Structure 1
Amino acid sequence: MKFVALVSSFVLLHVSWTSGKTEHRPQKDICEPTASCAECIMYSPICAWCSDKNFTKGGESEGSRCATALELQQRGCASEHLIQPKGVVNIIKDTPLSDSADQEVVTQLAPQSVHLKLRPEEKKKFRVKFKRAEGYPIDLYYLMDLSYSMKDDLENVKKLGSDIQRALNEVTKSVRIGFGSFVDKTVLPYVSTMKSKLQNPCPSRTERCQPPFSYRHVLDLTSNLTLFEMRVSAENISGNLDSPEGGLDAMLQAAVCTDRIGWRNVTRLLVFASDDVFHTAGDGKLAGIYLPTDGHCHLNENGEYDHSNIYDYPSVGHLAHVLSSANIQPIFAVTNDVISTYEELSKLIPKSVVGELTKDSSNVVNLISEAYNNLSSTVNLEHSNLPKGINILYDSHCLDSSSKGQPTGQCSGVKINQAVEFDVTVWANRRICQDGAQSFKLRVLGFNEELNVHIEPLCDCNCGDNEEFSSYCNEGLGNYSCGVCSCPDGYRGKQCECQQDKQDSESDCRVGESLPCNGRGRCECGRCACNLGVRGEFCDCDDNGCEKHDGQVCGGISRGICDCGKCKCLANYTGDDCTCSLDTSACMTSEGICSGHGRCVCNKCICEEGYHNKVCKECPQCPTPCQKHSPCAECKAFGTGPLSSTCSAKCENVNVTMVKASDPRLKDREGWCQEKKEDSLITFHITEDGKMVHILVKEKEVVDQTHLIMGLVLGTAMIGLLIIVAYRVAVELIDRQEYKRFQKARNEERWNESNNPLFKSATTTVMNPNFQD
């Protein structure tokens, strides 16, 4: 049951944390027509509104004023009428970081206050710096398990006050130490309720133990080491029945009883020393304790938790929340046999660490020192009280590494007076327009300083043209704002010119025998009110009917716009869908456009036959320069070859020079071509000078093929001989194997060793009794 309760606590904590994580939703990359400027800027951060009174044309809906700024400008909206509010980041307070804790006011986190103006889904970023000041004060509360198995440990802790302070004095001069202890709830089945055992829970009657208790605060945080050692020395060991202890009860009370413990707004460390596991939420039902812990301080005048038999143990999630809110960093000093359990617990409690404690706690000073260094060298920037609808991500810029888009900011290996930085990205959904101004806090775990972030929604337009009862809106019938009229009840139309109860005349909304408004809108007061994306006096212009590429009309607003069903491409683009770029940069090579073997179409090479790759450089089937000029070299030098009869005509641009084998130009053989003929070898070198080709041809080398023929004959004979030998060896091996098998079979036969009882001879001798010799 204890295990189930523990697992359930872990799961609940994980679920609560997961639900608190920010959800990254992609922004919309298009703008849809909206009824007002306010709705437009709430739709997406890329959307803008044109407030020009004459922007919309006949039949065009007022909702078409909402589009991207580029599209509106392309459609003729002047910049002074372009409404696109932008979010703003204002740093309200930014006190410089401190180098030392000796100052009256120590600043380790900057800035301290930020004000954000946010449009829905618009992301804004600001930078946060943190630097751990040298000598920052420390409060250390030592919480010890006093069950009987910790007897040796208590004797050592009584002597450790000065050693602990001496170790922490290496990082700060201001150290205060307190002490508390715990056993378990004083009811069955955790503690024996026999009167004698309640008075002395020691296993042996001759040994004296103090009565069991749940949690007792022994000493307030103090810098008086003599008092610490005196009060701890007065403590005595106690005992209980089961193995798990009431440590979570003690930790929660030590965290929430801030005034009783004496916690300052400094680095708070809680050393939890135990040699066993812990009870958690749900275990209290074994003793009939079912009320969940209320998270309040319940210490009596003697410093004891007097409600331990009323409230159940806290869950891991509840404890993690309380410790994090109180900025307390737990150090779990536990023995080897339970260290794996506390390592799992530490994963669920922010800013906690686990260290292995020897059986008698003799290494506790070194353990605390190492654990503190590990905790203080890790900087965790997190948010708290994040309102619904607000999202946040962190980019961490650490000393030797960085990370982006994380739910928390974290840097490890940070030393004293080394600053680290975090970029905090904040955005909100449309809910911010309903909830209004909100705020949350950022802080570095383990430190009391906070950064206040105030968010103001930017959900309305300030077009600067508001007119009540404007003459433009049917002689004062409606109000004018951001280029459109707001009509009173009973009126409609662009200028509130149409009464809703007036009978519409469809004859004024059609051309010839066509449908009213060409079936793409409705007739209102003798005028067409076109559907979205359609305009024109009779809704004859469809701005959605153009060619699309990857789902975008006319390849997107950066390439072209749709005008009455046809794409109008911007400069440097062409084609039906404006996706053909007139740029040729992707086709250019050092040899020219498409390496001189193709043409550039839509900034892509179309290669000649035989050539391929992006710039037409490769041609596997094309002849090499040696192959191309070999016939001319042969015919002009020796009068032979395939061009011997047409050499003058075919090789008129080729100049051939014969050279002897002793010519010094033959020493450098790099770049020379060699072509083998039936009985000779032609060697030549090619250089090109404009349209003229110059070829140096060496004297023919006669190839002696006698050795080649002899080699082929001998090689063939040897191969045949090897095949015959291999065949004979294989046959011999098979025969020997079969003979051995036959011999073995004969040796195993037994029928000839005895007479066959069923055997009868074919010859029978019969004696004639009447025969007389």
Structure 2
Amino acid sequence: MPSNPGIMASPRALEQPLSHYNDYPSIAHLVQKLSDNNIQTIFAITEEFQPVYKELKNLIPKSAVGTLSANSSNVINLIIDAYNSLSSEVILENSKLAEGVTITYQSRCKNGVTGEGEMGRKCSNISIGDEVSFTISITAKQCPKMGKPETIKIKPLGFTEEVEIALNFICECDCHKNGIEDSEICHNGNGTFECGACRCNEGRIGRHCECSTNEVTSEDLDKNCRKDNGTDICSNNGDCVCGTCECKKRENPEERYSGKFCECDNFNCDRSNNKLCGGHGRCECRVCICDANWTGSACDCSLDTTTCLASNKQICNGRGTCECGTCKCTDPKFQGPTCEICPTCPGVCAEHKECVQCRAFGTGEKKETCERDCSYFNLIKVKDRDKLPQPGQAFPLMHCKERDANDCWFYYTYAVNNNTEKEVHVVETLDCPAGPDIIPIVAGVVAGIVLIGLALLLIWKLLMIIHDRREFAKFEKEKMNAKWDTVRVDSRQYQAAIFEKFNGDDVFLPV
């Protein structure tokens, strides 16, 4: 990880004690000192100064610009975001090169993305655990003064680790003494073959001295071997021979560079399942040319729609699109491999009720035509409801509960599996209501009648007792209120009085 990420507070903090004592350092000097000290710069500035610092960011590698709020309340989040952005990018840099020495980079980043030239120095969008590789080519066009060894240091910006390369120049060889003049190897004697290479005679150039300087200049040679001014000679994948690129050979004979500028190859195409072009195409100039019925950048998308055909022979049941051999249901209510399952739609259970009933139990309206009309699904019987498939186990399904003509319930599930086959799991036993128990019912009715009769007798007896007590109390009261005259009266008058007293009722009087 970067060793010294931080906010750039003041450029003076990076100055040497005596250098640039009275002035700020130049941007080039600033970049050099930041690199030497492995510092990644985060400019936290307000929005009004954003354009200026964004231009400065382009000049300082591994730097970031964040918008600081007026009260600086977002400074922590700003540093975190900027640090994550900086740490996701790897940029290589090298120390100063000796005169005549050039260095080129070729990167292979995440997901097979490659870069050359200046783009070959860096890889972006890198996460922890990702692996990137860089191919570095160093060319010496001349021997340094005094022929002393040179050292090149290469490291990723912001990191302390570095690679040190020692260059030892062989400027003179003992084999010069044994050179073969006018060798046939050097294009019919146009040079001296020494130390395994041709040293061309005056007026001849090329690897084998096959070109004349009168026909083409050195500048023309390089120009003819570049695709444009921003690319390397022969895309750094070959050698320029007389203005024509000769592509390098690979260790694997199946892998090769091609193209006028060696800009193409047949091994850097997208992969699927760890296979080049998914095993369904060929790689040409870093682009997959797919076989018939295959498409996609890695030829991993099948154009065959047979796997998307529903039972009605429509693609995705007319409610979706077939993409790479798989249905993408456009109607959110439908699901399943062919968009035929609709858990929220009414009538799914009722639609298959008669066929399930006739095949599982041999009953129902379709009993006579069951074999002809109801063979479109696979029937699987289970012992009880707990053995029925549950939602989410494999593929979308519908739980159903239906009743037959005898008021018996039967339970089943309907689903379309991943092979577009319809499956019905049904509980093999019917759930029928039990018949009434006559003896308890009769006993209950008889007991109820007896209890009601006893209750009525008790009520009648209670009312009679109350009535008798009231009459007796009334009689006692009349008896207490009766007034008898002590005068002797005639018996007939007495009887008449008594008769009148009791309203003509028969009364027996003592004589």
Q: Give the alignment's TM-score, normalised by structure 2.
A: 0.33
Q: Give the alignment's TM-score, normalised by structure 1.
A: 0.23
Larger Rg: 2
